[in-house]
Amino acid sequence: MATVELINVSKSYGNVEVLRDINLSLQKGEFVVFVGPSGCGKSTLLRMIAGLEDISGGDLLIDGKPMNDEMPAKRGIAMVFQSYALYPHMTVFENMSFGLEQAKLDKDEIKARVEKAAEMLQIEGLLDRKPKQLSGGQRQRVAIGRAITRDPRVFLFDEPLSNLDAALRVDTRLEIAGLSQRLPDTTMIYVTHDQVEAMTLADRIVVLNGGVVEQVGTPMELYERPASQFVAGFIGSPRMNFLNGAVAQAHGAECYGIRPEHIALDHENGDWRGRVILTERLGSDTFVHVNVEGIGTVNVRIEGRAEVQAGEAVHLTPDPASIHLFDARGQPVSG
């Protein structure tokens, strides 16, 4: 049964429509990521589910019950904010228990719930501290802990990693993945602009662009069968090469897409001939930027070290099975 259902949901501010025709059905226990560029409406959609923004049109159902006009606290949700939104004057314990006091739970129950959540997130030692005595990562855990104590049916994350440094972001991402495994009945909705977070965390990804859903699917579906040029460009790192002109027209398309990892580089033979402009060495991979005659700049990803230098002449061969073709409107064309 679907936990969260969105039927023809839309949102406008005055005459400006920021979201339209959103239809989604999230299964119980599913981890769904809303991803898209900034301004695509992903955070607004999350806030509408949370009840922090009004729904202009359509219906929101949680566990089959209409929630459009329900108070946020009555929706069975919990939310982790980008800025953590901890109560600065309260200790970690009070931050986690404040919401439970409102729910009129008795003291022992509150204490038990807070301690359980603290244990799950390994913040038992921090319960007497104030938020400003904590590091960014610890604050994030407290924010997650506060959400856990509410024992929600739906867990909402609004770009929870964007205030953390790169190393901590990876650790916390793993922890969130672990958390979702330990709470198998809790549906998680996670908003990010980072496609790596989306690919690594999601059971299903919802790609939003310009207020509409571009594609919904598992990470691999999105990677292998992008439903539009936008999705093809947004999912995958480094970005897919998009080539216009003769090479596309030869396949009867406006745009020819090929991912950097689906191109073979050779010194002797290949379909395309070009000259290396630049190499970027990451250790595990090398990105080789090649200026291909009559086509343009193509980025090639090579595992390990590639023994090529700038200025060297090379040959490239795209994998024919991994070509993506798009028409002038960015819609896929069957090759």
Residues numbered 138 to 167 that lie near another protein (CB under 8 A) are 146, 150
The binder of another protein chosen from 23, 83, 122, 218 (CB under 8 A): 83
Residues numbered 61 to 80 that lie near another protein (CB under 8 A) are 71-74, 77-79
What would the x/- binding string for another protein be over residues 123 to 142, using CB under 8 A? --------------------
What would the x/- binding string for another protein be over residues 24 to 63, using CB under 8 A? --------------------------xxx-----------
Computed from CA positions of residues 304, 307, 312, 313, in that sequence, does the dihedral angle turn out positive or negative?
A: negative
Nearest to 333 by CA among 272, 231, 223, 248: 248
102 near another protein, judged by CB under 8 A: yes
Shortest distance, position 99 Cβ to another protein, whole Å: 3
Q: Give the position of tokens 């024919």.
A: 320
The binder of another protein chosen from 17, 56, 98, 162 (CB under 8 A): 98
SS3 assignment, position 222:
helix
**What do you get for the CA distance between the two ends of the chain, in Å?**
38
> 260 near 299, Cβ under 8 Å?
yes
Of the ranges 83-91, 116-124, 222-230, 262-270, which one interacts with another protein (CB under 8 A)?
83-91
Shortest distance, position 66 Cβ to another protein, whole Å: 19
Q: Report the residue number, 98 or 287, with the smaller CB distance to another protein.
A: 98
Q: How far is the C-alpha of 226 from the C-alpha of 293, rounded, in Å? A: 28
* Cross-strand bridge partners of residue 331: none
Q: Report the residue number, 96 or 176, with the smaller CB distance to another protein.
A: 96
86 near another protein, judged by CB under 8 A: yes
88 near another protein, judged by CB under 8 A: yes
Give residues with Cβ within 8 angstroms of 289, minimum separation 6: 276, 277, 278, 279, 280, 297, 298, 299, 300
The binder of another protein chosen from 17, 25, 61, 81 (CB under 8 A): 81
Q: How far is the C-alpha of 120 from the C-alpha of 267, rounded, in Å? A: 54
Nearest to 129 by CA among 80, 81, 89, 102: 89
Footprint of another protein (CB under 8 A):
50-52, 71-74, 77-79, 81, 83-89, 98-99, 102-103, 146, 150
